[in-house]
Amino acid sequence: MQRRTEESRTAVIASLLADPTRSVVLWTLSDGRALPAGELARLARVSPATMSEHLSKLVRASLIRVERSGRHRYYRIGAPAVVRVLEALATVAPIAPRSDRGITEDASRSAIRLARTCYDHLAGYAGVKITDALLEAGYMVETGSGYDVTAAGEQWFAALGIGVSDARRRANEKRRQFARACLDWSERRHHIAGELGERLCERLLELAWFERRHGTRALRVTALGRRSLKRHLGVTLL
């Protein structure tokens, strides 16, 4: 392989992501699934021949890996860094079309968009919806730099087993923000992060409203989680 400048090396990677068909493939696999070539062809609406070429390019660049099983070949994301690129690209909104505050209602296509961890807190459709509901109910209010919990909110969190004042104290000690507003790449909306976001996420996993999925940051909503979100916050997760 000949010497390349940093610039053209990133251009090569970018050109692999620049094709709509390949982009669909990567986004489809971005939640950690492994799918056979034929199914990917069907999803992207191209012939098996075309898909095969795309897949071989992606494999050659190590953006995806292939695993043979019988007469199928299963393709999966090659490295976590690949998903980070996708997310970074999604964050560069081609001028965010925020006409109104609607959430994308077809978020269900990919598990990683429905619910995932973002560092230590909850993100994706679920993270945004929960944050919205907390604001809507008056349990939290927006501040300049994030959120703050109201007296009513403190009770709500306590009912879930989360000590707000304790979290506030710890955040202060750690010189960490108490309840930060983190921008979501898939929803282009804010969700709750910081010390409180971490505790909320931890607790919802403890309560088994969500479950971790193997080898991915995507979370599964349990049946209990769906019911409880409905009851506690009036949130329906499609």
Partner DNA sequence: TAAATGATTCGGTCGCGGCCGAAACGATCG
Partner DNA sequence: CGATCGTTTCGGCCGCGACCGAATCATTTA
Interface with a copy of itself (CB under 8 A) = 1, 5-15, 17-20, 22-24, 27, 61-63, 79, 81-82, 84-92, 94-95, 97, 173-176, 186
E-state strands within the chain: 35-36, 64-69, 72-77, 116-118, 121-123, 140-142, 147-149, 181-183, 190-192, 210-212, 219-221
Nearer to DNA, 20 or 102 (CB): 20
- Which of the ranges 46-54, 91-99, 147-155, 222-230 carries the binding residues for DNA, by CB under 7 A? 46-54
Q: Classify residue 103 by its DSSP letter.
A: P
Single out the residue of 4, 10, 11, 56 in contact with DNA (rule: CB under 7 A): 56
Tally of CB atoms within 10 A around 190: 19
Beta bridge pairs of residue 66: 75
The partner in contact with residue 46, picked from a copy of itself, DNA, none with C-beta cut-offs of 5 to 8 angstroms by kind, is DNA
Interacting partner of 51 out of a copy of itself, DNA, none (Cβ under 5 to 8 A depending on kind):
DNA
Judged by CB under 7 A, the number of residues near DNA is 27
Residue 167, classed as helix, strand or coil, is helix
In the complex with a copy of itself, which residue's Cβ is closer, 145 or 172? 172
Q: What is the largest CA-CA distance in the chain?
A: 64
Residue in the structure block whose two tokens are 């009770």: 155
Measure the CA–CA gap between 144 and 138, rounded to whole angstroms.
17
- Taking CB within 5 to 8 Å according to partner kind, which of a copy of itself, DNA, none is near residue 23? a copy of itself
Partner from DNA, a copy of itself, none contacting 81, C-beta within 5 to 8 A by type: a copy of itself
Quick check: helix, strand or coil at residue 104? coil
- Tell me whether residue 7 or residue 69 sits nearer to a copy of itself (CB atom): 7
Residues 9, 14, 38, 166: which binds DNA (CB under 7 A)? Answer: 38
Tokens 């009912």 label which residue?
159
Of the CA atoms within 13 Å of residue 178, those in its CB half-sphere come to 18
The site string for DNA over 184-203 (x = CB under 7 A, - otherwise) reads: --------------------
Residues that bind DNA (CB under 7 A): 15, 19-21, 36-39, 41, 45-57, 66, 70-73
